[in-house]
Every structure is written in structure tokens, then in C-alpha cells.
Amino acid sequence: AMRGAAAPGGGGAFRSISELNPYQQRFTIKARVTAKGPMRTWNKPTSSGNLFSVDLLDGSGEIRGTFFKEVADKVFPLLEEGKVYVFQETSGRLKPSNKQYTSIPHEFEVTFGNVTVEPADDDGAIARIVGDWKKISMFADGGGPREGNVDIVGVIKAAFPAGQITSKRTGQELTKREVVLCDDSGYDVRLTFWGELALRDDAFFEAQPVLAAKGLRVSDFGGVSLSSGFGSQLIFDGQEDPESLR
């Protein structure tokens, strides 16, 4: 039997994200979009197209979802980060999750096919973000990981001016901004934002917002530092209590 509340349109019940697996192509989920990536395009001799990815969260867990081509064009303008939607899918494909691109622990990720998306009431039942929150003090005295991802809640204590760099790999111009993130363990760490986020005005950072950040990349470049990437989820808040995020 399917568990959960009734789904609209006679689609039976909502399926829990944690239960999604490759043996079902038809399912209806109600989930919060905790992260929405940019539309990306590819051009190869054999094919071209566009895609974007989202992170979806419900009360049972989280999964990475990707939309391609016409479906991506249709759904991209409908989805807003932080909002809750009902996704009704009849031809979805689930494949093993690529951990290179996501810190979500779900065994699978979903490629949406014939999907309809409807906004849903946000009754607060689905958390805004769920993380395995760590203290910055774990990096003290050369401790802590030097690669992989980490989830941290902290205050942006200081921000440096945004600047341009050229990517060695792609030759693209990138905007970056470094900030200093500190938490109640009394330690701080450098954190780099890229792109649109780096271009937010100085006043935004000078207000010392609280940041709940899931999936920050750890690197050991000139001492440990963190950076946000495609797979990161970020919630900025003036007076967020980390406990209420769990």
C-alpha cells in the first residue's frame, strides 16, 4: 500500500522521497525545492540540449532531480527555490546517484520525463533545509577533512570585495567573493561564493547574515577553506535559530 496523504488529480497517495527507486516510473511527490541550479546547455557532435537540476526535500528525505530539454523549458520558470510543489510523474527514470555532483545521501537520483508541477500549500511540515551540521572548530589545529563536503551554520563576520578571475580550466570569466564565516565554537573559516551570489551588494554581507549552508566544498588551498558550488544549499537569515532548521 502507498503511504502518505492523498494526492490531487486522483493520483493516489504521495510517495515518500526515501522510497523512490528504479522500479517505478509513475509517482507523485510533494517536496520543497531546497536548491535550483542554473539552466545549462551542451553541444556535442551527436546531440545538443539543455538541462537543470534541483534538490527536493520532503519529510522522509532528499533527492536530486534533473529536467532535460522541453521538460526543462516548461518547468524551469515554474520552480522557485524554497517553495513547495507537487510533482506528478508518469515516465520518471531513477538511476544511481552521482556523488561527484551532490552531497545528498539518497542512493538514486531522478530524471523527470512526463511531469506536471503544481504549487502546493506550505504548511511548514517540510523543513527548509536538513543538514549534518558541523562546527568550524573541527578544522582547528589542522584537524577536520581536507576534501569532500560539509554542512555548517554560521555568521558572515566580514566580506571582501567581489573580484573577477579567469578559470584555468575553461577560460571563462568568473566572479568570486570571499567572506569570513564564524560560528559559536569561536572559530572562523574562509568561504568563497561564485557568480550571482558573489555579486550581491556589500550591504547584504555587511549586515552579517546568518547562513545555513549544506554541501560546502572543502579545499586545502593555502590552509583549509570552503566554497559553495552547484550542489550547495544556502539559506540566509537575519535571525535564524539553527535548531529550527533541523
Q: Which of 28-37, 178-187, 212-221 has the lowest mean pLDDT?
A: 212-221
Tell me: pLDDT of 3 over 60: no
Alpha carbon distance 243, 153 (integer Å):
10
Contact 235, 128 (CB under 8 A): yes
* Position 12 confidence tier, pLDDT thresholds 50, 70, 90: low
Alpha carbon of residue 176 to chain centroid: 19
The CB density around residue 32, as the number of other CB atoms within 10 Å, is: 24
Answer with the residue of higher pLDDT: 88 or 1. 88
What pLDDT is recorded for position 141?
83
* Position 63 confidence tier, pLDDT thresholds 50, 70, 90: very high
Q: What are the cell numbers at 47? A: 546531440
Give me the mean pLDDT over the 139-168 stretch.
90
Record the pTM: 0.74
Percent of the chain residues past pLDDT 70, beyond the cut? 91
Chain mean pLDDT for the chain: 88
Percent of the chain residues past pLDDT 90, beyond the cut? 67
Residue type, 235: I
